[in-house]
Amino acid sequence: MTTTLQNSGQTVFIVDDDDSICEALSNLLESVGIAAQSYPSAESFADSWERGSAGCLLLDARLPGMSGVEFQEQMHASGIDLPIIFMTAHGDMPMVRNVMKAGAVEFLIKPFQKEELLHAVDQAFALDKTRRADEEVLQSIRTRIDSLTDREREVMRLVTTGLLNKQVAAELNLSEITVKLHRRRVMEKMEADSLADLVKMCERFRSLDH
């Protein structure tokens, strides 16, 4: 299991106010070949966060300053989109339920077994990978859409809803020839092999871009 995690370019970002915990966790993660970085508080992590960093957060639920639970609520606003593994010395049920509902991967009660931790990291990394891949696809589609002219974007919108060239022409008050021309340009720019491909692309973009 651990071998699959190695050299994936992903990092576990450990946030715990207790140095010795941070040190022990990074030691263990490194021993199984996982990169780890430690931060004493949620604020210090947010400050040094770089967009595009891959991996997951290993977050203590109770921290001085902003607590882990509060940080989870604010992460989206800060543009940080990492899966979270919570850990705490005393987990009360309502808190566990709340953070899990808010999308946490796992809730670990200190002290925890190695397998519990690595399994959670495994899950979190996989989730991070999927999200990142989705993000990449989204990004490339967005770039292609951005290269379209306004008119071409209009034509794509109408074509992908299933209208025939003739109907699109009527809708946009253009000649059928012109529509055909625009349509070819759209297919080229969007790197779509077929209309079905274009429709799929548009749907994916709509579903991921919130």
Partner 1 sequence: MEFLFKPFGIAVAFVIVALIWTFPLQHVISYPFVFLFFGAVMGTAWFGGTIAGFIAVALSSLLVTFLFIPPLYSFSVAKGSESFLTAFILCAIAISFLSAARKRSENAIREARDQLEEKVHERTAELEQSNRDIQESERQLRLLTEAIPQQIWRADASGKIEYCNQHLVDYLGIPAREACDDNFFRILHPEDESIFRHGWQAALVTGANFEIEARIRNRAGIFRWFLVRSIPQRTEDGKIARWYGIHIDIEEQHKAQQSLARAHEEQVRIAHTLSMAEMAASIAHELNQPLTAVMTHAYACREWLHANPVNVDRASATADKIVQESTRAGEVIKRVRALFRNEPQVRQKADLGVLIRDTARLLRDEAIRRVISTHLFIAEDLPRIEIDPVQVQQVLINLAMNAMEAMASGQPPLELSIRAEKKSEREVFVSVEDRGPGIPSETAARIFDPFFTTKAEGIGMGLAICRSIVEAHDGRIWAQSLPGGGTAVQFTLRNRQ
Positions touching partner 1 (CB under 8 A) are 18, 20-21, 23-25, 27-28, 30-32, 89-90, 110-114
| Phi, psi angle pair for 154, to nearest 5° | -60, -50
CB closer to partner 1 out of 19 and 197:
19
| DSSP states of 25-64 | HHHHHHHTT-EEEEESSHHHHHHH--TT--EEEEEESS-S
Residue 103 makes CB contacts below 8 A (sequence gap 6+) with: 72, 83, 84
Least distance to partner 1, CB of residue 107, Å:
15
If the CB atoms of residues 113 and 143 are measured against partner 1, the closer one turns out to be 113
Q: Token pair for residue 94?
A: 């309502």
- Cα–Cα distances (Å) from 123 to 44, 96, 156, in that order, read 25, 18, 38
The side-by-side arrangement of strands in the sheet containing 11-15 is 35-39, 11-15, 55-60, 84-88, 106-109
Q: d(Cα 23, Cα 31) in Å, to the nearest integer?
A: 12
Minimum distance from residue 78 beta carbon to partner 1 (Å): 28
**Which C-beta is closer to partner 1: that of 24 or that of 208?**
24
Q: In angstroms, give the least distance from the CB of 18 to partner 1.
A: 5
3-state DSSP assignment of residue 189: helix
Min CB(128)–partner 1 separation in Å: 22
Nearer to partner 1, 23 or 81 (CB): 23
| Closer of 18 and 154 to partner 1 (Cβ) | 18
- Across the chain, the runs of DSSP E, i.e. the strands, are 11-15, 35-39, 55-60, 84-88, 106-109
Minimum distance, C-beta of residue 183 to partner 1, in the bound complex (Å): 59
> Nearer Cβ to partner 1, position 113 or 173?
113
Min dist. Cβ of residue 57 to partner 1 (A):
17
